[in-house]
Amino acid sequence: MEMGGMPRDAVSGQETAGGRGFELFPSVHVADGRVVHLVGDGHVPEATLTDPVHVALAFQEQGARWLHLVVAEDDSAGGGLVQARRIIDAVSMNVQLMCRRGIDDDRALEAALDTGCTRLNLGRSALTDLTWCADAVTRHGARLGVSLPVRIGGPGRGLRLAGPGGSDAGSLWDAVTVLDAAGCARYVVTDVSREGTLAGPNTSLFTHVCARSTAGVLAAGGIASLNDLRTVADLAPHGVDGALVGRALYTGAFTLPEALACTGVVRERG
């Protein structure tokens, strides 16, 4: 078990023919101490698998090398980070942490990094101050990534970022330009309209971001079947470095071992 505040050593994903790795991230989203599912701008409770520690340990036992852990509630008071640390301390696999809201200054950022997560993705709150967000990315290097929750705008609006509470956080491409210049290593790219819906992934969105950025893309939102997962994994040569899978695992659409097998991700046993 790792001690809080000491990040684990990251493991690399499967190498593809294009030379890029692909990794699978089973997801645990937490609010008020229990598992929830992100849906659009909000979240709904998980009906059956409610204990986040038990779920995380089950994913680890089933072969996961990474866990995508999300504090789904506003964490300005720090309670969500207490829950995150409890989960991180319980597992030995790598943990990628994201706080949907509340990480928008240096003090909050350091508190999140001190949980012992392997790496952290800045969430919606950080998008409201791109200058601070870019500076944080530059200072912390590859340990820090940025979540890009994308809303497909109406005519003339293009691709917009969703901010806290569903607010508008500006143009996707403006943010990518600023964050790429700061050296951002990765983006978690989500079509907000598909998050938690099992409606299928927006592969066009993932490839468009890959075409405009040199950062790695982690694909999220809508994955409902093994065929969906294979389709996303096939984008690895274009810059998609992994996929986040949540609700499909909880509904039993497929198992984590099946997902790992179909994407070629094999855990190294020591």
pLDDT in tens, 87-102: 999 999 999 999 988 8
Q: Is residue 174 part of a domain?
A: yes
* % of the chain exceeding 70 in pLDDT: 88
Q: Is residue 53 part of a domain?
A: yes
Q: Is residue 245 part of a domain?
A: yes
Q: Is residue 71 part of a domain?
A: yes
Q: Is residue 10 part of a domain?
A: no
Domain of 179 in residue numbering reads as: 20-263
Q: Is residue 1 part of a domain?
A: no
3-state secondary structure the chain: CCCCCCCCCCCCCEECCCCCEEEEEEEEEEECCEEEEEECCEEEECCCCCCHHHHHHHHHHCCCCEEEEEEEEECCCCHHHHHHHHHHHHCCCEEEEEEEECCCCHHHHHHHHCCCCCEEEECHHHHHCHHHHHHHHHHHHHHEEEEEEEEECCCCCCEEEECHHHCEEEEHHHHHHHHHHCCCCEEEEEEHHHCCCCCCCCHHHHHHHHHHCCCEEEEECCCCCHHHHHHHHCCHHHCEEEEEECHHHHHCCCCHHHHHHHHCCCCCCC
pLDDT digits 0-9 by tens, 3-35: 345 465 554 444 443 345 799 999 999 998 999
Supply the CATH number for residue 215's domain.
3.20.20.70
Q: Is residue 3 part of a domain?
A: no
Q: Is residue 141 part of a domain?
A: yes
Q: Count structural domains, the chain.
A: 1
